[in-house]
Amino acid sequence: PTRWGDRKMVYSAHVGAPSGAPSVEAVVCCGRKDPQVAAFGHGGVFVEGAFFYKPRPKARDRYENERRFLELICCSCESGEPLRAFVPNFYGEVERDGAWFFKMDDLLHAFSLRGRHIADLKMGLRTFAESEAQSAKPRADLFERMERMEERLGSCVLTDAERASRSMTKARWMALRDSLSSTSALGFRIDALLTPRAHLTAFDSRLFHTRARADVIAALRSFFPRRGECEGGSHPRQAAAALLARVRELRGALTRSAVFSRHELIGTTLLLVADETCRAGAWMIDFGVTREAPAPLQHDVPWVPGNREDGYLLGLASLTEMLQELVASDEWD
C-alpha cells in the first residue's frame, strides 16, 4: 500500500468519472516539494489498488454521522436514491495495523494529474450545528488563529473581552468565520483552491474574507483552466458549462431525495474538479456533522435557532447563478 507519514497531509477528494460513472473518493498527496499539494484535508489515509482508505473520525458522533449517511446513500435497499451519483461509493469499514478506516473507491485518475484543478466549497448558510452555538468554553487556540487572520484582514473583529482573556468560544469563532466569508450572504464559501498555478486555503490566503459576490465569482473563475492550458482546442467555458450542468443535475437529485429532505447538512463540502481537457464534475463529501432532523427540512429558507435549516439549496442557487455568468462571459484568459 501507498502511505504517507504523520507530517504529510492529503486532501480527501471523493470524485467520480466525469462521464457519470460511479462516484469515488481519491487522494492528492501533500508534500512541500509536490506541486499537487493540498494541505486542507485528512492525514493517515492510504491507497491500495483501486481503493482509498480514510481513517474513520475519532469523535464518536462524527464517525456515526458520516458512516450512517454514507450507508443510507450507498448501501440502502433504496436503489433509486437520486444522490447515488453525487456521493462516494462506500464499502464499509476495514481494520489495518490496528486502525480502522472507511473504504471507498479511488478513481481520481479519471482527471489528469498534471492539470488537475480542485475547489473545496463549504455549503449552507452556517457551518456550525445548533448544539455548537451553545458552547461557552473559551479556547485560546481559536483566538490565536483569528488574531492572525485579523492581521491579514486589516480591521478589528475581536472584542475587547476576547483580547483581555486571549480566548474565544467555538460558537463565536464559527459565526465570525461565516460572517467574514460569503457563507452567511450567499449560502456557500470557497475554503480552498488547488490548481497547477496556485494553492490557496482559507487560513493562508484571501479566501477567508472573500465575501462580496464579485470576488467570489473571480475566485471561481481562477479555479478553471486558462485558455492556454486547455488541450485539444477546448475552451475553459466548456469546463464551466460542464460544471453548471452537473450542479443543475445535483439540484434535481437533491429535490427528489428523501434522504436529503430529512437531514441537516452542516459543514459539508461540494468538491469541484476539472482538468486541462475541460472536463469537470462536482460531488458531495464530508458528512461528519450531518444529522437526521426531527421533521423534513426545506433547505431553501433562512436559519433561525431551532428550525434546523441549513440553507444548502440557497447556496447551490447562488453557485448556479455565478456559473451561468461565467459561461456567458467573454472574460477568459
64-75 pLDDT tens trace: 999 999 999 987
Largest separation between any pair of C-alpha atoms in the chain: 59
Residue 312: all three cell numbers together: 444548502
| Length of the chain as a residue count | 333
Among 2, 44, 16, 10, CA closest to 281: 16
Q: Decide if pLDDT at 250 tops 80.
A: yes
Rounded Cα–Cα distance for residues 324 and 306 (Å): 34
Residue 286: all three cell numbers together: 464530508
Concatenate the DSSP letters of all residues of 185-207 into one string.
HHSEEEEEEE-SS-EEETTSSGG
Give 319: exposed, middle or buried? Use CB within 10 Å, 0-12, 13-18, 19+.
Answer: buried
- Read off the pLDDT of each residue in 113-125 and give the average, rounded to a whole number: 88
Q: How far is CA 56 from CA 61, 196, 301, in A?
A: 11, 30, 32
Rounded Cα–Cα distance for residues 33 and 178 (Å): 32
Q: Decide if pLDDT at 272 tops 50.
A: yes
Kindly report the pTM of this predicted structure.
0.84
20-36 pLDDT tens trace: 333 333 333 332 222 33
- Read off the pLDDT of each residue in 150-164 and give the average, rounded to a whole number: 86
Residue 210: all three cell numbers together: 472573500
What does the pLDDT read at residue 158?
92
Q: Tell me the pLDDT of the chain averaged across its residues.
A: 82
What does the pLDDT read at residue 53?
83
What does the pLDDT read at residue 173?
87
Q: Decide if pLDDT at 14 tops 80.
A: no
- Are the beta carbons of 117 and 225 closer than 8 angstroms? yes
What does the pLDDT read at residue 318?
98
Q: What do you get for the CA distance between the two ends of the chain, in Å?
A: 41
187-198 pLDDT tens trace: 999 999 989 888
Residues 6+ apart with CB under 8 A from 296: 261, 262
- Are the beta carbons of 94 and 53 closer than 8 angstroms? yes
What does the pLDDT read at residue 74?
85
